[in-house]
A and B are shown apart, each in its own frame.
Chain A
Amino acid sequence: QKEVEQNSGPLSVPEGAIASLNCTYSDRGSQSFFWYRQYSGKSPELIMSIYSNGDKEDGRFTAQLNKASQYVSLLIRDSQPSDSATYLCARTDSSASKIIFGSGTRLSIRP
């Protein structure tokens, strides 16, 4: 069982719509969760971090965490072509000594 599961995509969303990215994890001891964006050939860039159950909003991005269901999601409102990238879900391990990444979801925003 993978420690962080993501649908690899590609997920195609029309410009201006809401893109919804989902992630599940297996370790209930995880306390910190992250979404990273990675453009092709570039290193990941932190978009959102979330530590408690519920929603966290930052601009067009909203992260949602449900620890009981071991589920974390990312919503991107008013999707733009520049949002086309691979989105990596990540969590800390139980000891918070390292970050474990999912395999990423490729998002494509079509004009």
Chain B
Amino acid sequence: GAVVSQHPSWVICKSGTSVKIECRSLDFQATTMFWYRQFPKQSLMLMATSNEGSKATYEQGVEKDKFLINHASLTLSTLTVTSAHPEDSSFYICSAPSGQWNTEAFFGQGTRLTVV
């Protein structure tokens, strides 16, 4: 399957600071990438769809000014959590579609964010 690399795998930051998470497609090009958040024992919640060369599409209830998404190339999308607060602590996962009909989602390793 396609390989998606996410970095960092975990990060601890102070409340009020910003954190950038990178998502790279290593062996394919991705015009679209998806960012999810997952709280313990809950399912994946889609936050936004990242579109190469254009603005991201955010899901209802997700603050676009807080979760900045940039998709500057066909292999890299970044999510920046701005002015992080403890309630932003979660597992953030990116994915990129590939495979048959470009519908299969391949996930990065995820980033465990802890805001203290």
Contacts and interface: CB of A to CB of B under 8 A. Distances in A.
Interface of A: 31-32, 34, 41-46, 49, 51, 88, 90, 92, 96-104
Contacts of B99: 46, 49
Contact of A46 (B43, B106, B108): B106
Given A43-B109, A46-B1, A101-B43, 9 more contacts: A34-B105, A41-B91, A44-B44, A46-B104, A90-B105, A96-B101, A97-B49, A98-B49, A99-B95
A40 B91 CA distance: 11
16 contacts: A32-B101, A32-B103, A41-B112, A42-B110, A43-B6, A43-B93, A43-B107, A43-B109, A44-B93, A46-B1, A90-B105, A92-B103, A96-B101, A99-B46, A100-B46, A101-B44
B34 interface: yes
Interface in B39-95: 42-44, 46, 49, 91, 93, 95
Contacts of A100: 46
- The majority secondary structure among interface residues of chain A is loop
Q: Chain B interface: which size bin?
A: 20 to 34
A42 B100 CA distance: 24
Nearest to A102: B43
Given A88-B43, A88-B44, A42 B103 contact: no
Given A43-B110, A49-B99, A103 B105 contact: no
Contacts of B104: 32, 34, 46, 49
Contact of A103 (B42, B49, B108): B42
